[in-house]
Structures are given as C-alpha cells and as structure tokens.
Amino acid sequence: MEKRKHVFWELMLIIGSVFVFRSLWILMDRIDLFNSGKSLIIFFFVGVVLTGIGFYKIVHSDKGWEKRH
C-alpha cells in the first residue's frame, strides 16, 4: 500500500478509536454501576490485569520476528 494511503487509514483508525472511547466513557458515566466506589476499585484492578496481560502478549508474542524480516 502507498505510504500516503497507509497514513490516511491509520489516521482514520485513530479518529474512529477516539469517538468509540469517548462514547463509551460518557455511557459509563451515566450508568450507576460504574459510579460506586466499590465497583470503581474492582474495574480498576480488572483494567490493570487486562493491561498487563495485553502488554505481556504484545512484547512476547513473536520472538522470531526480527530474524525473519
């Protein structure tokens, strides 16, 4: 793919992701379940665990990638 087209589609991905993130944020603000102190602590720890797993998988996903390219 041409570099200009690639950059364009990456920008579309970023802008679309911002809209999705903002919409979910506002929706979660309107739901009582997400506004109590206990649930915020639970969701915080769930987020930390999911972030840690995702980060680990990304870093350790393909150790041989550098050798093939």
Full-model pTM: 0.59
Three-state secondary structure readout of the chain: CCHHHHHHHHHHHHHHHHHHHHHHHHHHHHCHHHHCHHHHHHHHHHHHHHHHHHHHHHHCCCCCHHHHC
- The rounded distance, in Å, linking the Cα atoms of 11 and 26 is 23
pLDDT in tens, 7-47: 999 999 999 999 999 999 999 899 988 888 899 899 999 99
Domain ranges of the chain: 1-30, 33-62+65-69
